[in-house]
């Protein structure tokens, strides 16, 4: 085994773990707000350097046996690189907004950026996994850090509740996943994805189908797809908003990419077995995500249902089970990340005169009168999430549906499009409340310039200007998806 | 012959200890019976040729888990009589669950013996080197082929520890911590006062 070659391929992950350890030591000796901010920016710098190290793999379209490291336990393929870049961007964005939020509450600690860094490391392992063991280790590393982050405001009851709920339900999901993994191992005789694909061909036994179903159930929990979505609104509402921004973006990207890897690489010869599961989860997520959001009065809960809804659309790309479908899903994933970060940053910027967060829908009534730019940005994000044409959100839905139609799932696309109309209702309701209702004059507080800059960036990315990106983004997604479909 | 005898010795003591664990009135006795059961299970593992698992059982279960149980039992004020109150009422339900589990095991084993279950053939990646004891075999795999995952698992434990400290460690006021430099630097003049109190009068410090 060539360790040098392995370390070269896994260099970003090695960088993350080593700098995580060093920053952890550094944070033990700095106990001031200034020190915490310095550590946050150092973490962001590490993430950016890691991203720069990952980018070449995507540009070169790395695939095949040359990308395998550590006796084929790890792969640095183009698909993994695409997912990692999204994860790193999302994690860096949620780190940028964190200090201002926590320091107002006097609750910022040095461990926050370090835990985010370790969570990113876990997610990188997830999307680079080539067997069920590295999948599980990566998932647990990410989840453990996430449980702590959810409860980071430990003196706040809602945050503690969110952390506990997430922990209990997450452990249950891990148990289900492990049960599925053990059944799959028992019936395939191996934990490597390629070995499983080779062992499970043709008609498979009931036990193997059970294993497959349990694995997908565990993964469905992690991506919060219906019927395993119940934790999402509670955890998203209770967690501190920067943490919610993180949850809705980076781990979601990682878990969705992981689901694609498992579906295509490990169970690639059993498409008929998992396709109904994915189709059901996709349609149910779209419908329940849309219907559940209608009654919500809290903006974070509303965005949580919106993310369930979006997972449904993303899964339509997977249900197509073609390279085009996966590429479309990756494009949508990139756009979704921009939209969801923008959405939660906008929520973060809503503060009353004393600087307390404002989260309810009634409180932003008439926001357009006194915070014109913020209201315009929120309106743009809502229109984009609803998939209304001039905005970039439309393109994501378009490529996914196009792939589904090309793969012959016309009815799937038709139901999806019909159900997206339900979703449009509550997105438009937010816009209506902001622009046409009597001003509540609640959200009048000033926001941090960092938040404004990030929101501006997201707004530009999802504006019609985003269409300039369709070509390069599409090409990169196609390269990444191509790396996955090598037989 | 001696193996069979030892097996039945360990097995019967273990089952008896297990029964005493749930039947003992005193919770501390329960934990002690549990330790007996763990030791006998370790003996069974040695008989099966799995000495590594036998050692793990003793180190992890007896050394850590059972001691933790003892701490919990002794430190927390749990009314065990109350916990046991529903025993008779819930007995049929518990029995039903036990029967279902037994039936599952019997059916599963039966189906496997009859050849109805076709399990996968191991791909050989986890095969032990010939002639190595199983500690050696596990070590050889863990520190070479699976080194990457071993290190990653270490980071998981680190994150768990950091998380536990982040969520529970508080800096409280009014704590008299040690300041070693200050304590050493103290001069006798600052700490000792010589007085000559008159007879019948106290000292005021």
The closest alpha carbon to A231, from A212, A214, A244, belongs to A244
| CA-based torsion, B123, B129, B131, B132: positive or negative | negative
* pLDDT, average across residues A286-304: 90
Q: Is B112 among the domain residues? A: no
Structure tokens at A131: 């067997």
Task: Give whichever of A26-40, A357-371, B11-25 has the largest mean pLDDT.
Answer: B11-25
Tokens 């694609």 appear where?
Answer: A260
Rounded Cα gap, residues A137 and B30, in angstroms = 35
Structure tokens at B107: 């059916």
Q: Is B51 among the domain residues? A: yes
- Residue B205 — very low, low, confident or very high, per pLDDT cuts 50/70/90? low
pLDDT tens digits, one per residue of B139-163: 888 888 888 999 999 999 999 999 9
Rounded Cα gap, residues A227 and A281, in angstroms = 7
- Residue B37 — very low, low, confident or very high, per pLDDT cuts 50/70/90? very high
Binary contact (A190, B122; C-beta < 8 A): yes
Q: Torsion-angle region of residue A377: left (phi > 0), alpha (psi -120 to 50) or beta?
A: alpha
Q: Is B31 among the domain residues? A: yes
User: How confident is the model at residue B124, as a pLDDT?
Assistant: 74
**Domain residue ranges of chain A, discontinuous segments joined by +:** 3-484
Can you tell me the ipTM of this complex? 0.91
Choosing from B19, B49, B83, the residue where a domain stops is: B83
The closest alpha carbon to A170, from A221, A212, A232, belongs to A221
In A, which residues are within 8 Å of B122 by CB distance?
Answer: 189-190
* Domain with B152 in it: 132-167
Binary contact (A121, B155; C-beta < 8 A): yes
Choosing from B21, B50, B83, the residue where a domain stops is: B83
Choice among A403-417, A436-450, B20-34, B114-128 with the minimum mean pLDDT: B114-128
User: How confident is the model at residue A24, as a pLDDT?
Assistant: 93
Mean of per-residue pLDDT scores for chain A: 90
Asked if A283 and A412 touch (Cβ cutoff 8 Å), the reply is yes
Tokens 């980076």 appear where?
Answer: A250
Q: Is B174 among the domain residues? A: no
Number of domains in chain B: 2
Rounded Cα gap, residues A275 and A321, in angstroms = 8
Rounded Cα gap, residues B175 and B171, in angstroms = 9
pLDDT tens digits, one per residue of A167-220: 999 999 999 999 999 999 988 888 889 889 988 888 888 888 999 999 999 999
Asked if A48 and A87 touch (Cβ cutoff 8 Å), the reply is no
pTM: 0.89
Binary contact (A115, B166; C-beta < 8 A): yes
**How many residue pairs bridge chain A and chain B with CB atoms within 8 Å of each other?**
92
Choosing from B83, B117, B144, the residue where a domain stops is: B83
* pLDDT, average across residues A46-52: 95
pLDDT above 60 for A1: no
Q: Which of A148, A152, A204, A208 to mutate against chain B (most B CBs within 10 Å)?
A: A148
Asked if A155 and A107 touch (Cβ cutoff 8 Å), the reply is yes
Q: What CATH number has the domain bearing residue B68?
A: 1.20.120.1200
User: How confident is the model at residue B38, as a pLDDT?
Assistant: 92
Helix (H, G, I), strand (E, B) or coil at A129: strand
Q: Are B77 and B143 part of one and the same domain?
A: no
Q: Torsion-angle region of residue A396: left (phi > 0), alpha (psi -120 to 50) or beta?
A: alpha
User: How confident is the model at residue B26, as a pLDDT?
Assistant: 81
Q: Are B3 and B77 part of one and the same domain?
A: yes
Better-predicted residue by pLDDT, A370 or A15: A15
End-to-end C-alpha distance for chain A, whole angstroms:
24
End-to-end C-alpha distance for chain B, whole angstroms:
81
* Interface residues on A facing B, Cβ-Cβ cutoff 8 A: 1, 6, 10, 17, 20-21, 24, 69-71, 73-74, 109, 111, 114-115, 118, 121-122, 125, 133-134, 137-138, 140-141, 144-145, 147-148, 151-152, 154, 163, 185-190, 192, 195, 199, 205, 207
* pLDDT, average across residues A146-156: 91
Q: Are B149 and B77 part of one and the same domain?
A: no
A362 vs A3, A290, A329, A366, A427, CA distance in Å? Answer: 58, 20, 34, 9, 14
């Amino acid at each position: 085994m060539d360790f040098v070659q392995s370390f070269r391929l896994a260099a970003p992950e090695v960088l993350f773990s080593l700098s995580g350890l060093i920053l952890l030591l550094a944070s033990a000796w700095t106990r001031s707000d200034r020190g915490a901010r310095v550590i946050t920016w150092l973490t962001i710098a590490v993430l950016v350097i890691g991203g720069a190290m990952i980018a070449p793999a995507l540009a070169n379209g790395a695939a095949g046996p040359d990308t395998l490291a550590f006796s084929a336990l790890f792969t640095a393929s183009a698909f993994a690189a695409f997912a990692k870049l999204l994860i790193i961007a999302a994690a860096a964005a949620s780190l940028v907004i964190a200090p201002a939020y926590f320091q107002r509450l006097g609750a910022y600690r040095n461990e926050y950026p370090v835990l985010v860094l370790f969570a990113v490391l876990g997610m990188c392992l997830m999307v680079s996994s080539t067997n069920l063991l590295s999948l599980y280790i990566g998932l647990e590393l990410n989840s453990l850090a996430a449980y702590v982050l959810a409860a980071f405001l430990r003196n706040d009851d809602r945050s503690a509740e969110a952390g506990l709920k997430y922990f209990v339900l997450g452990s249950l999901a891990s148990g289900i996943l492990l049960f599925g993994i053990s059944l799959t191992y028992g019936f395939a005789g191996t934990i490597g994805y390629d070995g499983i694909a080779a062992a499970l061909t043709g008609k498979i036994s009931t036990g193997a189908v059970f294993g497959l179903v349990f694995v997908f159930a565990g993964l469905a929990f992690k991506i919060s797809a219906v019927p395993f979505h119940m934790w999402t609104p509670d955890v998203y509402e209770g967690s501190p908003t920067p943490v919610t921004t993180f949850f809705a973006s980076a781990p979601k990207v990682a878990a969705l990419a992981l689901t694609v890897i498992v579906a295509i690489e490990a169970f690639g010869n059993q498409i008929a077995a998992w396709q109904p599961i994915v189709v059901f989860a996709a349609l149910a997520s779209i419908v329940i995500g849309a219907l559940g959001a209608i009654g919500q009065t809290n903006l974070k809960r509303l965005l949580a249902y919106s993310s369930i809804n979006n997972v449904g659309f993303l899964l339509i790309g997977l249900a197509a089970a073609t390279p085009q479908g996966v590429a479309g899903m990756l494009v949508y994933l990139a756009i979704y990340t921009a939209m969801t970060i923008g959405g939660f940053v906008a929520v973060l910027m809503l503060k009353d005169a004393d600087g307390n967060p404002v989260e309810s829908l009634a409180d932003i009534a008439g926001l357009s009168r006194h915070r014109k730019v913020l209201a315009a940005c929120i309106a743009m994000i809502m229109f984009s999430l609803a998939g209304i044409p001039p905005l970039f959100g439309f393109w994501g839905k378009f490529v996914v549906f196009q792939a589904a139609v090309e793969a012959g799932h016309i009815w799937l696309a038709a139901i999806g499009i019909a159900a997206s109309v339900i979703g449009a209702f509550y997105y438009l309701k937010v816009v209506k409340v902001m622009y046409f209702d009597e001003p509540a004059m609640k959200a009048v507080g000033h926001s941090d310039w960092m938040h404004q800059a990030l929101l501006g960036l997201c707004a530009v990315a999802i504006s019609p200007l985003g269409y300039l990106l369709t070509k390069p983004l599409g090409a990169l997604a196609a390269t990444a998806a191509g790396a996955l479909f090598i037989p | 012959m001696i193996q069979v005898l030892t097996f039945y010795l360990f097995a019967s003591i273990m089952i008896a200890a297990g029964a005493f664990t749930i039947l003992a009135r005193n919770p501390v006795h329960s934990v002690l019976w549990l330790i007996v059961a763990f030791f006998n299970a370790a003996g069974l593992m040695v008989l099966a040729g799995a000495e590594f698992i036998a050692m793990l059982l003793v180190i992890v279960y007896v050394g850590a888990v059972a001691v933790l149980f003892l701490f919990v039992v002794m430190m927390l004020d749990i009314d065990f009589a109350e916990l046991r109150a529903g025993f008779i009422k819930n007995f049929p339900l518990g029995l039903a669950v036990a029967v279902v589990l037994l039936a599952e095991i019997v059916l599963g084993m039966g189906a496997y013996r009859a050849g109805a279950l076709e399990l996968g053939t191991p791909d050989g990646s986890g095969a032990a080197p010939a002639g190595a004891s199983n500690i050696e075999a596990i070590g050889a795999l863990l520190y070479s082929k699976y080194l990457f995952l071993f290190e990653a698992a270490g980071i998981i434990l680190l994150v768990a520890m950091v998380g536990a400290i982040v969520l529970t460690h508080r800096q409280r006021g009014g704590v008299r911590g040690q300041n070693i430099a200050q304590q050493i630097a103290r001069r006798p003049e600052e700490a000792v006062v010589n007085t000559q109190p008159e007879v019948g009068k106290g000292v005021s410090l």
